[in-house]
Amino acid sequence: MSRDVLLFALGWALVHSLWQCLLIGGALRAALALTRRAAAPVRYWLCCAALALMVGGLAATASLAAASARASSAEGAARAEPGAGAAAEGARARQPLADAPPLAVLEPSVVALRGARAAWASARHDVENAFPFLVAAWAVGVAVFSLRLGRAWLHVRRLVRHRVASPPAWLVAAAERLRRRIGISRPVRLLTSAVVQVPTVVGWLRPVVLLPASALTGLTPRQIELLILHELVHVRRHDQLNRALGAVR
């Protein structure tokens, strides 16, 4: 993909994402209002579907815009061929009024329509001229938020290595039993941490559940199991991946 086509595709994708995301957000708000009494998983998956539609709409619009840019480039190259271009120019030079409509056709509605088309073409040209600045600003924003996301990721990874310990054997066995019970196929590590204040899930491919060390002395075994079960549900729903996608978007 050439630089011009990429710039054209990203520019129109960003422009159209304004109304697309507004429409999807309004539909999500209406859906959440209608499902106010529904189960939490229903509302959760509605939010995930809205996020997927936003990302998919951006990708689909960029793909369509790139295809349109390639088609326009091919058409322009065909018109630039020496034989075809010279013949067309010669024909127009011999018949300067051949393409002009008759006076009877120039009704007010036709004039207004052509004026609207000209105004739209001018506005479209102005928008496309701003694409370099728009795409550059978007790229800077993505870079800044990616750096913030990377910094947060490094901080979270340090939590897994700093002031952690293996939990008691009975707690490891309970976590393994709960993992199998709710249908998580991949292994999930369980660690106690002296840093975190609340139970936390770290990672998506190799998830780790961090349990505050204070929970082992201040809660009953049943309460601890419920905390672990809550975090395992986050693992099963891939919440860490969804948060990362939302931050990038």
For residue 135 the two structure tokens come to 């795409």
Write the CA distances from 239 to 47, 59, 90, 155, 203, integer angstroms: 12, 22, 66, 18, 10
CA distance 55 to 32: 20
pLDDT, residue 192, reads 92
CA distance 64 to 194: 52
pLDDT, residue 206, reads 86
Domain 138-248 has CATH 3.30.2010: yes
pLDDT, residue 97, reads 47
CA distance 73 to 65: 12
pLDDT, residue 89, reads 53
Reported as a single tens digit per residue, the pLDDT across 63-104 is 999 998 888 777 766 666 555 455 555 555 455 545 555 544
CA distance 100 to 109: 17
Identify any residues that bridge with 190 across adjacent strands, giving them in sequence order: 209
Residues of the chain by 3-state class (helix, strand, coil), percent to 5 = 75, 5, 20
pLDDT, residue 161, reads 87
Kindly give the confidence (pLDDT) of every residue in the chain, 249 residues in length, as a single tens digit, with 9 standing for 90 and above.
Answer: 678 888 899 999 999 999 999 999 999 999 999 998 888 888 888 998 998 999 999 999 999 999 988 887 777 666 665 554 555 555 554 555 455 555 444 556 655 666 667 777 777 888 888 889 999 999 999 899 889 888 888 888 888 888 899 999 999 999 999 999 999 988 999 999 998 888 988 888 889 999 998 888 888 989 999 999 999 998 988 877 766 655 555
Sheet holding 164-165, edge to edge: 164-165, 189-193, 208-212, 200-202
The CATH 3.30.2010 domain(s) of the chain lie at 138-248
DSSP state of 184: -
Side chain identity at residue 23, one-letter code = L
pLDDT, residue 249, reads 52
pLDDT, residue 230, reads 92
pLDDT, residue 222, reads 92
Place of tokens 């004039």: 111
Place of tokens 């693992």: 235
pLDDT, residue 146, reads 86
Beta-strand pair 200-202/208-212:
antiparallel
Alpha helices in 130-218 (DSSP H): 131-161, 169-181, 215-218
Backbone angles phi, psi at 190, to 5 degrees: -125, 125
